[in-house]
Amino acid sequence: MVTLEEVARVLHQVARRGRNGVGPARRILTERLAWDQITDSHLEDRFLRLVQRSGLPQPLGQHVVRDETGAIVARVDFAYPDVSLLIELDGAAFHSDHGSFQRDRVRQNRLVGLGYTVLRFTYWDVLAGPDFVVDALASFLPP
């Protein structure tokens, strides 16, 4: 017996361009992994549960970042403000068109200019590469 998360992890490891069946398998897995609406999105829910299971400190959700004048620069998915770490989760639905892609880069550059580290994770990072996500977060958090 295996879990859907384990199937997704293996799919992520073997998926390559031109490999038949990867796209349909990803769509089926996404449908089967139902969203339980803890946060604003399925991806954010999965990320939050991953952080909770890992034993890492709980990040702040939907954190507003302001510049030195008090103007809002961004509302990020999650943050550890005490270590200037911001987490953005990139789902295909909101980050795949050219305009969104461009705006995300401008926004990230502004955040970095304010002294923040910005980590970006995709749906497949969170679902199929949880160890990668946890290790990346842990490397920026105090022990």
Claim to verify: residue 22 and residue 70 sit in the same structural domain: no
Claim to verify: residue 42 and residue 8 sit in the same structural domain: no
What pLDDT sits at residue 113? 96
What pLDDT sits at residue 37? 44
43 and 89 Cβ atoms separated by less than 8 Å: yes
Binning pLDDT at 50, 70 and 90, where does residue 120 land?
very high
- Phi, psi at 87, each rounded to 5°: -120, 125
Tens digits of per-residue pLDDT, 64-119?
999 999 999 999 999 999 999 999 998 765 545 667 778 888 999 999 999 999 99
Claim to verify: residue 42 and residue 71 sit in the same structural domain: yes
Do the domain assignments include residue 143?
no
126 and 5 Cβ atoms separated by less than 8 Å: no
Claim to verify: residue 77 and residue 10 sit in the same structural domain: no
Residue 80's domain is classified under what CATH number?
Answer: 3.40.960.10
Claim to verify: residue 27 and residue 42 sit in the same structural domain: no
Domain ranges, residue 66: 36-138
The pLDDT of residue 48 is above 80: yes
What pLDDT sits at residue 38? 47
The arithmetic mean of pLDDT across residues 125-140, rounded, is 94
Do the domain assignments include residue 100?
yes
Tens digits of per-residue pLDDT, 1-33?
666 667 777 776 776 777 777 777 766 666 665
The arithmetic mean of pLDDT across residues 41-62, rounded, is 90
Claim to verify: residue 58 and residue 83 sit in the same structural domain: yes
Q: How many domains does the chain have?
A: 2
The pTM is what? 0.70
Claim to verify: residue 86 and residue 131 sit in the same structural domain: yes
